[in-house]
Structure 1
Amino acid sequence: MVAVVELTEGPGTSAVYARAALGLLRRGGGTTLPDVELVRRGVTVDRSHLARYDRVCGLRLTDALPATYPHILAFPLAMRLMSAADFPLPMIGLVHVANRITVRRAIDAGSRLDLAVRAVDLRDHPRGRQFDMVATASVDGAEVWRGVSTYLRISSASTTKGDRPAGPAPDQADGAVWRLPARIGTDYAAVSGDRNPIHTSRLGARLFGFPRPIAHGMWTKARCLAALEGRLPEAYSVEVAFKQPILLPSTVRFTSSPSDTGWEFRVDSKRPHLTGTIA
């Protein structure tokens, strides 16, 4: 039986990161995810915040929420769940490896959203252990949006090699070169609440094996959808796999091409950074 915990206000992400840092001191290694769903009802959108988010991600300013924006609203709930004492894996060090979003209909920025977040399907992976964080947004009792984020905890015993270099872009693909400044990490952290130091601090990035800060995966996904604005229907699913991280600053290439079900797209440089499909 899932225990439903209703919150009357959103948890502060700074406090959650502090608690997560303390969580690194515990051994973890549990075998089950907490059977709990965190819920926050009647969430409204701050239009000035939405405008800042759109600008950081290169999205148009409209009254319809971008597909990735409800992820931002639900993220503090996910952080609270992952930083809890009974969560089997330490939150800091988790790698966001995939994300799937389903938009069931356009969501007006004036809607009152009921958000729910739950962790499911803890399972083995060749490089460690992974699980899915499922978030939903509902309006008047009807689900209008669902996001599934897959997180991986890499084991120190893992010997799996990284992704191979990307092959040549498809002949029919549309392409664009993006020059990403270092501030992308801090700008996105400010609007998303995801202040993981691997995105905002050279020292923090080095602690986790990166020579300099890396771009947020969900910023990259949002930027890809911005490049496809005007060509997407009101209802669709968009799934991405996060490959090699994008070091900041950096220059990358975005390519997209039509498919039988919608679109295929990717971001790469010498190696693949993100691959995605839209249906």
Structure 2
Amino acid sequence: MSGTRILQDEPGRLATLVRVALPVVPGVNRLPGVRKVRPGDFDGLTYRREHAVVERERVQAYAGVCGFPRRDVVPLTYPHMLAFPLHVAIMGDPGFPYPAIGMVHVANTITAHRPVAVGEELAVATTVGAPRPHARGVLLDFVTTVGADGETAWESTSTYLRRGRTIDGEVAPGLVVPDPPTGGVEWRLPPDLGRTYAAVSGDANPIHLYALTAKALGFPRQIAHGMWTLARSVAAIENRLPDAVTVEAAFKKPVLLPGTVAFAAREDDTGWTFALTDPVDGSPHLVGRTS
């Protein structure tokens, strides 16, 4: 099943939570309009949003939470905020075979072709195709383009893992960052970071909000959003990056809140390599590189 849908308005947080939760409720998940297609019947889905305006107030709130300065162009990672409602709409669509709850964001690639100005009106489109094999299930690539007047200003690929039965095919190795940097500056993260980021991003997944809601989904306590860890890492080096740049990142180990992480970055002839690690044992939470 494939097709293109138009998202007219960004849904409210409650409506979003209800939409993504219903497909995992026994009985309800068999109702028309909720029941998912079978994975074998899925070959792609696209959601579009026209006339998405980059609002200064929202950009400034996001910049404050993620450590970016206030400017007249948006932070490198900000257009993901325009894409995220499309991701949720796809995951909640009956034409998408997997429930949103249980999808794990494992990697992200962002390419900026030019700065995006505050106040711009943009067209945003996200497409997800057929799943790819993974050792622990399947991978789904949510490919987003953001632009205006037929020009792509920014694009990204967000890769999600759905644990469970895999499919036939060769498993791709994913992002490999040889010898990522360790140590560096330590950041102490407060217990309400997930709620603070949820307020500016719209991503109110219960695993990020409270210890109780995170424990219900298998975590010892709430965890930081992966896209916050990427945004905060990019914010630490963004003033040394060109306007046109690609950033690749892999999310490794969840960051428990409250907690302390260490950020380190290293420049070489091809760009920057960076990592967010556990300051106690050096294990990586996130590894990334630019080009």
Scaled by the length of structure 1, the TM-score of the pair is 0.90
Residues 92 and 8 from structure 1, CA distance in 2 versus in 1: closer, same or farther, beyond 3 angstroms?
same
Match of 1:214 in 2: 223
Match of 1:120 in 2: 129
Confirm whether residue 136 of structure 1 aligns to residue 148 of structure 2.
no
Alpha-carbon distance, 1:16 to partner: 2.2
**Mapping of 1:179-258 within 5 angstroms?**
179-258=188-267
- What SS does structure 1 have at the residue aligned with 2:40? coil
Match of 2:10 in 1: 10
Match of 2:87 in 1: 78
Out of 263, 287, 290, the residue aligned to residue 275 of structure 1 is 287
Match of 2:154 in 1: 145
Q: What CA distance in whole angstroms lies between the structure 2 residues aligned with 1:169 and 1:6? A: 41
Q: Percent identity?
A: 45
Q: What CA distance in whole angstroms lies between the structure 1 residues aligned with 2:49 and 2:41? A: 24
Q: What CA distance in whole angstroms lies between the structure 1 residues aligned with 2:226 and 2:147? A: 24
Task: Tell me the C-alpha RMSD between the 2 structures.
Answer: 2.2
**Worse-matched range after superposition: 254-263 or 1-10:** 1-10
What code does the residue aligned with 1:154 have?
Answer: R
Residues 10 and 66 from structure 1, CA distance in 2 versus in 1: closer, same or farther, beyond 3 angstroms?
same
Scaled by the length of structure 2, the TM-score of the pair is 0.86
- What SS does structure 2 have at the residue aligned with 1:254? strand
Alpha-carbon distance, 1:4 to partner: 2.9
What code does the residue aligned with 2:42 have?
Answer: L
Match of 1:23 in 2: 23
- What SS does structure 2 have at the residue aligned with 1:19? helix
Consecutive unaligned residues of structure 1, counting only runs of 5 or more, are 158-166
Q: What CA distance in whole angstroms lies between the structure 2 residues aligned with 1:31 and 1:156? A: 12
Contact between 1:174 and 1:256, CA under 8 Å: does it hold in 2?
no
Alpha-carbon distance, 1:43 to partner: 1.0
Contact between 1:181 and 1:250, CA under 8 Å: does it hold in 2?
yes
- What SS does structure 1 have at the residue aligned with 2:233? helix
Out of 50, 60, 67, the residue aligned to residue 59 of structure 2 is 50
What code does the residue aligned with 2:188 have?
Answer: R
